[in-house]
Structure 1
Amino acid sequence: MKRIVLIGAGFLGSALAVGAARRGWSATAISHSDPFALRDTDAGPGEIQLLPGSGVERLPDSLDREADAIVIAAGGRFPLPSAAAPVADAIGTLSLVIGLCEQIRTLSPRTKIVLLSSAGAVYAPGDEPKCESDLGEPTTPYGMSRRMGEEYMDYYHRMHGLSTLSLRCANVYGRLLPRSRGQGVISAAFWSALTRKPFTMHGTGRQTRDFIHVDDFVAATLDLLESTRDLPPTLNVGTGTGSSIVDVLEAVGKAMGTHIAAVAGPHAQTDTGNLTVDLSMLRKIIDFEPMDLTTGIGRMAGEMAADGPVWSQ
């Protein structure tokens, strides 16, 4: 049975744990909390274990038998809070990445290490889809710490021979995130549809971003972990298609059967331009055809109608 360790049981970590278990894998999530109730999740043909605590401290407990991969899905602040606490964000992210790489180097050097980085935070907007070789130009402390985390991953590969991979993820959606996180355009649009409160529009609303449904993100990540091919140090994971904020509001409004009004909010440097990712390198390694925005938002709306919102506020 393939074994995977997730550092963090938030939105992406929990989704990967469930996806791995449904493939028949053994998934261990290390997290201070269990916001998506992994303890109560049907693991299907696989198994899910939750270890409370920090990744660096609890990782040895999960390596009593060798893991095939660990995925770093935690560390630092969210994008908006990082601006108010750049030192804490850098320490939180880099101490986790370095600490885990040191643990793997000592305890299980054949285990693959995957860092969930951020395409939106690392790349600068531009008219052409961003390739992995394009210069990273972070505009937030969050983006800076993710970019430096990628560099440390590459360092441990070059200097210590560890198998490392940094995934520059586009904007992942598929669950209703709490508004306190200050991120997630699609979640914010759903909150407006649910509460009938206006959506706060930053910028013109015509700027485009790459939005990928969490099911496609999970499938791509697990397919890469199953691949027997040599992987590059960095890979984009998105759809390769840009959708505007106006497109998002229209799609969510249609899926929820309502009109979403918008009010102007403050502008920021990150609220302009277009940003999509190039998937050429990813598609050379795995077969990958993600769902389009309308289909993905429809799936999210359907799951919310069946299960109810995960978060009350």
Structure 2
Amino acid sequence: MKRITLIGAGFLGNALALGAARRGWSASVVGRSDPFATKDADPGPGEIRWLSGDGVERLPQTLDQDVDAIVIAAGGRFPVPSSAAPAADAIGTLSLVIGLCEAVRSLSPGTKIFFLSSAGAVYAPGDEPKCESDAGEPTSPYGMSRRVGEEYMEYYRRVHGLSTHSLRCVNIYGRLLPRSRGQGVVSAAFWSALTGKPFTLHGDGRQTRDFIHVDDFVTATLDLLAYGRELPGTINVGTGVGRSIADVLDAVGAATDSTVATTPGPHAHTDTGNLAVDLSLLRSLIDFEPRDLDAGIGLMARDIAAGGPLESP
């Protein structure tokens, strides 16, 4: 049985734990809180083990279980809050990355480490899909901490011989996230469609981004974790196709049979230009064909409808 450890039980950590268990894997989840009730989820043919606490402090307990890979799905703050507290964001991200790499170096140097970075925060917008070799040009504290986290991953790979990998993930959607997070264009559009409150539109809505459904993200990530040979240090994970914010609003409106009203918001450095990732490297490693935005938003709408009445946001 393959054994993995997820650091963080949020949206992505929860999704990866459930996906791993459904493959028959053992997933240990370390987190200070359990917002999606990961510990109570049905593990299917696999198992989910919950460890409450700090990722660095609890890691030795999971390494004793001969863990194959660790996924860092926590650390720092979300993009919008990071601008108000850049030092806290940097400390939260880098102390976790460095602490985990040091623990693995000392206790289990054969364990793979995967860091969930951000393509949208690291790359600068441009007309061509971004390759892993393109320079990182962050324009937010969140992007800076992810980029430096990648550099530390590369340092431990180059100097200490660890198997460290940074996954530059695009905008991941598929769950109705709390609006207070300041993250998730698709989720925010659904909130507007379902509550009738306007969507705050930053920029003119024509800027494009790469959006991937969480199920496709989980498939790609777990396939990389299961890859039998050495992986590159940095890998893009996305769809390879840019879609505009206006496209997102139209797709959500169609999926919910509603019209998403908008209200203008302040402009920022990230509100303009186009950004999608090149998937050539990912597709050379695994067989991967993600669903398109309209299909993914339709799936999300059905999942929300199946969940019953909305809780208070």
* Both proteins in one fold, TM over 0.5: yes
5+ residue gaps, structure 1: none
Which residue type is aligned with residue 206 of structure 2?
R
Measured in 2, the distance between the counterparts of 1:308 and 1:47 equals 27
SS of equivalent residue, structure 2 residue 298: helix
Is 1:178 matched up with 2:196?
no
Q: CA–CA distance in 2 between the matches of 1:310 and 1:221?
A: 30
Q: Could you tell me how far 1:310 is from its partner in structure 2?
A: 7.7
CA 1:181 to 1:37, structure 2 compared with 1: closer, same or farther past 3 Å? same
Equivalent residue, structure 2, for 1:147: 147
Deviation at 1:65, TM superposition (A): 1.8
Identical aligned residues as a percent: 75
Tell me if structure 2 keeps the 8 A contact 1:176–1:311: no
Q: 2:130 is matched with which residue? A: 130
Q: Structure 1 residues 133-142 or 62-71, which shifts more?
A: 62-71
User: What are the superposed Cα offsets for residues 91-124 of structure 1, whole Å, 9 maximum, x if unpaired?
Assistant: 1100000000000001111000000000000000
Q: In structure 2, what residue type is equivalent to 1:291?
A: R
Over 6 Å off, 4+ runs: none
Once the two structures are superposed, residues 98-156 of structure 1 have per-residue CA deviations (whole angstroms, 9 ceiling, x without a partner) of 00000000111100000000000000000000000000000000000000000000100
C-alpha deviation, 1:241, in angstroms = 0.3
Superposed displacement of residue 66, structure 1: 1.1
Aligned counterparts, 1:288-303, within 5 A? 288-303=288-303
CA contact (8 A) 1:229 1:285 kept: no
Partner SS for 1:27: strand
Give how far 1:307 is off: 1.5
- What is the aligned partner in structure 2 of residue 189 from structure 1? 189
Aligned residues: 313
Is 2:253 the counterpart of 1:226? no
> How far apart are 1:85 and its partner, in Å?
0.7
> Are positions 1:65 and 2:65 aligned together?
yes
What is the letter of the counterpart of residue 53 of structure 2?
G
Instruction: Measure the CA separation in 2 of the matches of 1:287 and 1:209.
Output: 23
* 1:275-286 superposed matches below 5 A: 275-286=275-286
Question: 1:289 is matched by which residue type in structure 2?
Answer: E
Which residue number corresponds to residue 56 of structure 1? 56
Shift of 1:312: 3.2
Partner of 1:86 in structure 2?
86
Cα deviation, residue 14, structure 1:
0.5
Cα distance 1:170–1:114, how it changes in 2: closer, same or farther (>3 A)? same
Q: Kindly provide the amino acid, as one letter, of the partner of residue 303 in structure 2.
A: E
TM-score, normalised via structure 2 length: 0.99
Question: Are 2:45 and 1:42 aligned?
Answer: no
Q: Distance in 1 between matches of 2:199 and 2:89?
A: 28
Cα distance between partner residues in 1 of 2:201 and 2:113? 37
Deviations 1:236-294 (A, max 9, x none): 00000011000000000110111111111111110000000000000000000000001
State the one-letter code of the partner of 1:248: V
Q: Deviations over 1:171-223 (max 9, x none)?
A: 00000010000010000000001110111110000000000000000000000
Q: Take 2:310 and 2:235, find their aligned partners in 1: how far apart are those partners?
A: 30
In 1, Cα distance between equivalents of 2:230 and 2:108 = 19
Partner of 1:113: 113
Q: Contact 1:205–1:246 at 8 Å: present in 2 too?
A: yes
Q: Tell me the CA shift for residue 311 of structure 1.
A: 5.7
1:198–1:263 contact (8 Å) kept in structure 2: yes
Q: CA separation in 1, counterparts of 2:276 and 2:89?
A: 25
One-letter code of the match for 1:217?
Answer: F
Q: Provide Cα deviations, 1:4-41, integer angstroms capped at 9, x if missing partner.
A: 00000000000000000000000010000000111221
Q: Matched residues in 2 for 1:100 and 1:238: separation?
A: 26
Q: Give the whole-Å Cα distance in 2 for the aligned partners of 1:309 and 1:243.
A: 29
Distance in 1 of aligned mates of 2:94 and 2:256: 40
Q: Is the 8 A contact 1:30 1:58 kept in 2?
A: yes
One-letter code aligned to 1:193: A
Letter in 2 for 1:104: V
Deviation for aligned residue 1:230: 2.2
Match of 1:241 in 2: 241
Change (3 A) 1:309 1:7: farther
Q: Partner residue of 1:15?
A: 15
Q: Which residue in 2 is equivalent to 1:165?
A: 165
| Letter in structure 1 aligned against 2:112 | K
Output the CA distance in 2 between the equivalents of 1:110 and 1:139. Answer: 35
